[in-house]
């Protein structure tokens, strides 16, 4: 009898134990840490419809699959919006969302660069900090040395020290572009499109990327018709549309009917001038396809010299996500999708034979048949290709 009671008691204990084990909370999976990407704009800031907006597209739209909400914050975008954001010449590059978190700080003045970078490193704990533009070369160089455990990306330049000497920290990757290649192509298009035999070029500041655009543009014009006259002007600013409009008015008054700008938001003023006048004037955009921007002048945008800062930004972020990041300089070219030109109204202004010749020149550059000068003064002594 005592044995039966003992067995019954043991059975109760076992059953209670099973109940408690069954009710024990399951172990929670550790949260997946989201990779945080910081970006510091150049002074043109968000909404420049050019260089900064292109970098933001690479970070926010493509890597993060979100869109900025005016006033701060983000909201998710649909698959259709994501697909529509990828230009035709990058459709085959397998751009997919990367699930990163974005933190963007805008620079109103060059003195904002270093404090903005410090905030992204120290307060936001970003895994990668992106500096948008040549003007941030010193700030990124100084910050990379100060924060060796943070990765940095610099667009349009290698990092430099306080004396302006190029340095190569192990935590910085710099992306450069062959602007002279896409500048050449829009120069060839402009040469075919001009009826006046006179075209304009409006630059922001004479920094290396802008000079490469000019050199390519001049070389493209020379290749098609060396008799075409070019009137060039630098405004000294990337942020003042009024200066761009004034430069455009001056060039138009001197007889130019096709104008190309590499001046950031300053160039928006060029499009304002062309829109007010209409035909026969054409504008050529820069960095992004400005013919898609309803706030500029899509009806009179001949083409745009594409510089895929968005794609370079995306690639740098992807390297961090996939743990393949490496320092040094990466050159983005026609061949790898780094630069190109937008179709816009090319087919309206050129014959099919002329378009075919532009495309042949593009293929020749990709194949290394000829090289385009990178400095405007070198174009005078440069021998253009003839068999195209």
Q: Is residue 233 in some structural domain?
A: yes
The verdict on 83 and 158 lying in the same domain is: yes
The pLDDT tens digits for 174-213 are: 999 999 999 999 999 999 999 999 999 999 999 999 999 9
Q: What is the percentage of the chain residues whose pLDDT exceeds 90?
A: 86
Mean predicted confidence (pLDDT) in 261-278: 96
| 11 is a domain residue | no
Please check whether residues 259 and 279 belong to one and the same domain. yes
Question: Which range is least confidently modeled, 8-12, 54-58, 334-338, 343-347?
Answer: 8-12
Residue 13 lies in a domain: no
Q: Are residues 232 and 252 in the same domain?
A: yes
Same domain, 103 and 190: no
In a domain, 346, yes or no: no
Domain boundary among 155, 177, 199: 177
Q: What is the mean pLDDT of the chain?
A: 92
Co-location of 221 and 271 in the same domain: yes
Query: Are residues 219 and 138 both part of a single domain?
Result: no
What is the pLDDT at residue 70?
86
What pLDDT does residue 163 have? 93
- Domain of 117, CATH number, reads 3.40.50.2300
The total of other beta-carbon atoms located within 10 Å of residue 37's CB is: 30
User: Is the dihedral angle over the CA atoms 348, 248, 297, 223 positive or is it negative?
Assistant: positive
pLDDT at 351 over 70: yes
Residue 106 located in a structural domain: yes
Looking at the structure, tell me whether residues 70 and 97 fall in a common domain.
yes
Q: Check: pTM over 0.75? Answer yes or no.
A: yes
Q: Kindly state the tokens that stand for 268.
A: 């928006």
Same domain for 52 and 65, yes or no, is yes
- In a shared domain, residues 215 and 284: yes
234 and 167 co-located in one domain = no
Number of domains in the chain: 2
The domain of 168 spans: 36-177
Same domain, 73 and 187: no
Q: Please report whether residue 141 resides in a domain.
A: yes
**23 falls within a domain:** no
Given 177, 203, 233, the domain boundary residue is: 177
Angle between helices 137-146 and 113-122 (to 10 degrees): 30
Q: What is the pLDDT of residues 35-49, one digit of tens each?
A: 999 999 998 889 887
Of 157, 177, 197, the one marking the end of a domain is: 177
Express each pLDDT in 212-263 by its tens digit: 999 999 999 999 999 999 999 999 999 899 999 999 999 999 999 999 999 9
Does 195 share its domain with 246?
A: yes
- The reply to whether 129 falls in a domain is yes
Average pLDDT over residues 290-306: 96
**Does residue 287 surpass a pLDDT of 70?**
yes
285-300 average pLDDT score: 94
Please report, rounded to a whole number, the percentage of residues in the chain having pLDDT higher than 70.
Answer: 92
**Integer angstrom CA distances of residue 72 from 58, 128, 315, 353:** 18, 21, 25, 49
């Amino acid at each position: 009898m005592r044995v039966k009671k003992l067995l019954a008691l043991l059975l109760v204990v076992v059953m209670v134990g099973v109940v408690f084990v069954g009710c024990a909370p399951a172990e929670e999976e550790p949260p997946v840490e989201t990779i945080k990407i910081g970006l510091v704009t150049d002074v043109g800031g968000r909404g420049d419809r050019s260089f900064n907006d292109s970098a933001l597209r690479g970070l926010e739209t493509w890597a993060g699959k979100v869109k900025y909400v005016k006033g701060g914050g983000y909201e998710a975008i649909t698959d259709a919006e994501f697909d529509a954001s990828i230009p035709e010449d990058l459709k085959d590059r397998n751009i997919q969302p990367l699930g990163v978190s974005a933190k963007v700080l805008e620079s109103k003045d060059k003195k904002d660069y270093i404090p903005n970078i410090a905030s992204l490193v120290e307060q936001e704990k970003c895994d990668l900090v992106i500096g948008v533009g040549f003007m941030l070369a010193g700030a990124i160089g100084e910050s990379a040395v100060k924060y060796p455990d943070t990765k940095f990306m610099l667009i349009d330049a290698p990092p430099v020290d306080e004396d302006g000497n190029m340095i190569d920290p192990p935590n910085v990757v710099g992306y450069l572009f062959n602007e002279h290649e896409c500048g050449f192509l829009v120069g060839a298009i402009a040469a075919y499109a001009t009826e006046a035999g006179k075209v304009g070029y409006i630059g922001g500041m004479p920094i290396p990327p802008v000079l490469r655009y000019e050199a390519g543009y001049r070389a493209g014009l020379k290749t098609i018709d060396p008799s075409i006259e070019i009137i060039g002007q630098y405004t000294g600013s990337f942020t003042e549309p009024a200066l761009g409009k004034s430069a455009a008015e001056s060039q138009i008054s001197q007889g130019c009917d096709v104008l190309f700008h590499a001046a950031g938001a300053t160039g928006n003023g060029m499009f304002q001038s062309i829109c007010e006048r209409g035909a026969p004037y054409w504008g050529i955009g820069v960095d992004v396809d400005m013919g898609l921007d309803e706030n500029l002048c899509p009806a009179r945008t001949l083409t745009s010299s594409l510089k895929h800062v968005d794609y370079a930004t995306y690639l740098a972020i992807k390297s961090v996500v996939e743990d393949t990041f490496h320092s040094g300089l990466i050159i983005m070219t026609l061949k790898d999708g780094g630069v190109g030109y937008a179709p816009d109204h090319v087919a309206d202004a050129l014959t099919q034979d002329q378009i075919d010749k532009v495309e042949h020149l593009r293929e020749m550059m990709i194949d290394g048949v000829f090289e385009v000068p990178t400095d405007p003064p070198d174009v005078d002594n440069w021998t253009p290709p003839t068999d195209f």
